[in-house]
Amino acid sequence: MAIPKTYHLVTLGCPKNDVDSEHLERLLTGGELLPVLQPGDADAIIVNTCGFIEQSQEQSMEAVRELAAAKRDGQTLIVAGCMTQLYGRQVKEETPAIDHIFGVGQWQDVARLLSVDVDAIFDIPESNVHVAGPSAYLKISDGCDAPCQFCVIPKIKGGLRSAPAGMLVKEAQRLVAAGAKELVLVGQDTTAWGEDLGMAVGTGLPGLLQMLSETVGPDVWLRLMYAYPSRVSPALIETMAALPNVVRYLDVPLQHGSEAVLRRMKRPHNVDRVHAFIRDLRAAMPGIVLRTSFIAGFPGETEEEFKELLDFAREIRFDHAGCFTYSRQQWTGAFGMDAQVPDEVKAERRDRFMRQQQKIAAKQARRFIGRTLDLLVEGTGEDEDGAPVVAGRTRREAPEVDGMVFARGTARVGDKVPVRIEEASEYDLFGRVLSHR
């Protein structure tokens, strides 16, 4: 292989993958390779795949097939990440144009293959960040020790590994210095942070939040994603409520609302416990925005159990909720379970859930009408009459997964401006920019 000078990187999957790609990019650019927008212009094409569920594997495969079909002589095609960690041999067999396969956590090996002298790049240890406009992801941990029967992540990523607090503080400082106005904390389970470093269950994250809050200062938002229900502790709630720059928002994937299904999934929380901590969250932070995700059609799920999920979601009134159909994954406990639910039943239940959720989300969104929210501006443009508009997110919306806010008026990307909310749909809010405070 001739020494590559340019690369094109395609990233699929979740924000944790974005962070891994950021790490790879820092290695490649540190080794003086140049990123290019078009795959056809690159000496090396790298695909960072997702293997979480069947649908994400299919999306990754499609991207790989497309790039392989267009690959020209002299180009190197590298496929890495979660999907190839699980199915590397099969992927290579199906797509012989791939030159190299890597699993997860092998970014330094990818860089070495592309002639980067990794050991000479002192400034680039493990990266835990991904910068996306005025927001940046900060990956506080990777891997997971939980026994969830539907999930292949522990097999792909291995057990919990928390990034040391000192390193996270340094990364946070670097990001804020580079202009980040929001840090989004991610990990497979952010609430487990520190347990592998010897901290008692549930005690690590509150301390880390406190430390990061002081590090970034009052004007930078901190947002917490992927909390594990049994670890949403009084200490965490108290800390979130006490720190003004931790946004009143929590993403806590609950997976189901039926006690029996939760037991089969080997989830440690029960429904009463969820009701209790949601009551505590709402009491400590009135108006807190809640996001969750559920699985429809886990093996053995009866119509009755699914209706329990509908009732549960209706009672709690999540601001944002996703519902995935159960995806049968090799190497998971649920793979061999009896009573797999037929695909059409899973899809019908997911659709029924989403129809209910759209109504709930629309109602939840309407409570913001008439209120003034700080908008983090991510884009600017004009409406059909040529009047200026801005788009961005308030504390109500996490990047990439929730809706957006559109407002008439002017501001620059990266500004935080007050916006009066005038209308709401189930996903988006609409309003106007007030004069800057």
User: CA distances (Å), 271 to each of 50, 265, 320, 354, in order?
Assistant: 30, 13, 19, 20
Q: Which is nearer to ligand SF4, 143 or 399 (CB)?
A: 143
DSSP 8-state class, residue 381: E
Does residue number 153 form part of the binding site for ligand SF4 (CB under 6 A)? yes
Burial of residue 134 (number of CB atoms within 10 Å: 0-12, 13-18, 19+): buried
Q: Which is nearer to ligand SF4, 101 or 192 (CB)?
A: 192
What token pair was written down for 1?
């292989």
What residues from 205 to 244 belong to the interface with ligand SF4 (CB under 6 A)? 228
Residues paired with residue 222 on neighbouring β-strands, in sequence order: 183, 246
- Least gap, CB of 175 to ligand SF4 (angstroms): 25
Does residue number 98 form part of the binding site for ligand SF4 (CB under 6 A)? no
Q: Which is nearer to ligand SF4, 189 or 319 (CB)?
A: 189
Any idea what the Cα angle at residue 141 is, between residues 134 and 399, rounded to 5°?
30
- How many residues touch ligand SF4 (CB under 6 A)? 9
Rounded distance between C-alpha atoms, residue 23 and residue 353, angstroms? 37
- Least gap, CB of 236 to ligand SF4 (angstroms): 16
100-101 vs 416-424, strand pairing mode:
unpaired
What token pair was written down for 375?
């908008």
Does residue number 188 form part of the binding site for ligand SF4 (CB under 6 A)? yes
Q: Which is nearer to ligand SF4, 77 or 148 (CB)?
A: 148
Q: Which is nearer to ligand SF4, 144 or 398 (CB)?
A: 144
Whether 237 and 277 have beta carbons less than 8 Å apart is answered as yes
Does residue number 154 form part of the binding site for ligand SF4 (CB under 6 A)? yes
Member of 82, 101, 144, 225 binding ligand SF4 (CB under 6 A)? 144
Q: Which is nearer to ligand SF4, 15 or 154 (CB)?
A: 154
Residues 6+ apart with CB under 8 A from 343: 325
Does residue number 262 form part of the binding site for ligand SF4 (CB under 6 A)? no
- Least gap, CB of 58 to ligand SF4 (angstroms): 20
User: CA distances (Å), 72 to each of 44, 96, 130, 268, 310, in order?
Assistant: 11, 14, 30, 51, 51
Here's the x/- map for ligand SF4, 101-140, by CB under 6 A: it reads as: ----------------------------------------
Residues 6+ apart with CB under 8 A from 417: 374, 375, 377, 390, 409, 411, 433, 434, 436
**Closest C-alpha to 252, from 285, 275, 278, 229:** 229
- Least gap, CB of 227 to ligand SF4 (angstroms): 10
With contacts defined by CB under 6 A, name the span among 79-87, 151-159, 208-216, 349-357 that binds ligand SF4: 151-159
Member of 18, 189, 305, 402 binding ligand SF4 (CB under 6 A)? 189
Rounded distance between C-alpha atoms, residue 68 and residue 99, angstroms? 10
- Least gap, CB of 343 to ligand SF4 (angstroms): 21
Does residue number 50 form part of the binding site for ligand SF4 (CB under 6 A)? no
User: Among positive and negative, which fits the CA dihedral 17, 19, 22, 24?
Assistant: negative
With contacts defined by CB under 6 A, name the span among 26-34, 88-96, 141-149, 284-292 that binds ligand SF4: 141-149
With contacts defined by CB under 6 A, name the span among 108-116, 117-125, 142-150, 381-389 that binds ligand SF4: 142-150
Q: Which is nearer to ligand SF4, 4 or 253 (CB)?
A: 253
Q: Which residues contact ligand SF4 by CB under 6 A?
A: 144, 146, 148, 151, 153-154, 188-189, 228
